Amino acid sequence: MNSQINDFVYEALRRGVSREDISAGLLKGGWTSKEINAALDAFVECDLPLPVPRKRVSGSAKEAFLFLVLFSSLYTFVFGLGSVLFDLINIHLPAPGETVWRWVVSLRYGIASVIVSFPVFLFMVRLITREAQRNPGQRISPVRRWLTYLTLFVASVSIVADLISLIVRFLSGDLTLRFGLKVLVVGVLAGIVFIHYLRDLRQDEVAPSAEHRLKKSGRIAYAVMIAAVLGILGFGFWTAGSPMKARLYAQDNQRISDLANICRRVQLFYKNQGVLPRTLSDCDINPGTYINQKTDRVTGDSYLYRVIDATHFEVGAVFDLPTSEDGPKTAAGYIPGTAMEEAGFWDHDAGRKTFKVDATRINPDRN
């Protein structure tokens, strides 16, 4: 703070001049309202005959820790919530020919980010609010102000970039509902953050020493925010499916990978030997055809392998769930140069399923 205005305010208060008259005189002298309020706030309003200086907080390690955790949890929460909303839009408004499983996987990461960061953010808001009530000087903390202005900068850049993207897509005639909803998500999230922290700073400029309590309107706003986040998370959970179902999909996916590996090894054995192996154990004679996984990793049962004739063989397993159009796909299940690289070759129902392969043909048939 400028020592000139600080000394003047001290001397004026000591002589009994009212704060209103001091403020009016300083305004005439060219000082800004912000400088005047900060100078007056340096002294407590009380009945003592001398001005009482207000204790000011310094940039302590505790203060830095509190605000760094607050704003880092805020960033994680906002970006995580945005990711959840983006993935929900992608899943329910898919592009032509697009599989939505990758968005389901991304949705789970977003949900996890919000579940962890949102409670941390709320806890830090409550903790810092209590600290501000006990020590009002914390409201003008340099760490807090720097992080707040940084947050305003990030939010404003997001809003500007969001509007630019919207206008470019509009001028290109490529403005779809899916893109429009994403623009709305970014605009709403960035706008809420920007307005909240801008009002927070303006409140400090008007009355930086005011005791910081969460007003009724603020409590209602937080309640609405919590309800909205819980609603979005609930919809996200419903869309992503249960953890048990995801686990069963993963187990079936692993079975497909194991069967695809068996097919590759058997075909390589046929190429080298000119005949199909009678059993999968026959492939173990050569390191290049060795089959590491001959049994189901979950049940321990052996994978089905049966020689049909001189050039055809059959592989199979017992699956937990039928193939879903939106379910996970595995690149390990596709064999380049064969029909197994085509979508649908490894489709299956729940239960036992076998797949017929011709070791000599480019395009094997499937049962």
Rg (CA), the chain: 33
Per-residue pLDDT of the chain (367 residues; tens, 9 = 90+): 467 888 888 888 888 888 888 888 888 888 888 778 878 877 877 777 778 777 665 556 778 888 899 999 999 999 999 999 999 998 888 877 666 777 888 888 999 999 999 999 999 988 888 877 666 555 567 788 888 899 999 999 988 988 898 888 888 877 788 888 999 999 999 999 999 888 877 776 554 444 444 555 667 888 889 999 999 999 998 888 777 777 888 888 899 999 989 988 998 899 888 899 999 999 988 888 899 999 999 889 999 999 999 889 999 999 988 886 555 555 444 444 444 545 577 888 889 999 988 887 644 444 4
Instruction: Please state, in angstroms and rounded to a whole number, the distance separating the CA atoms of residues 328 and 252.
Output: 9
SS3 content of the chain, % helix, strand, coil (to 5): 65, 5, 30
Instruction: Please state, in angstroms and rounded to a whole number, the distance separating the CA atoms of residues 366 and 215.
Output: 68
Report which of 257, 277, 279 is spatially closest to residue 269, judged by C-alpha positions: 277
**The two structure tokens encoding residue 361:** 């043909």
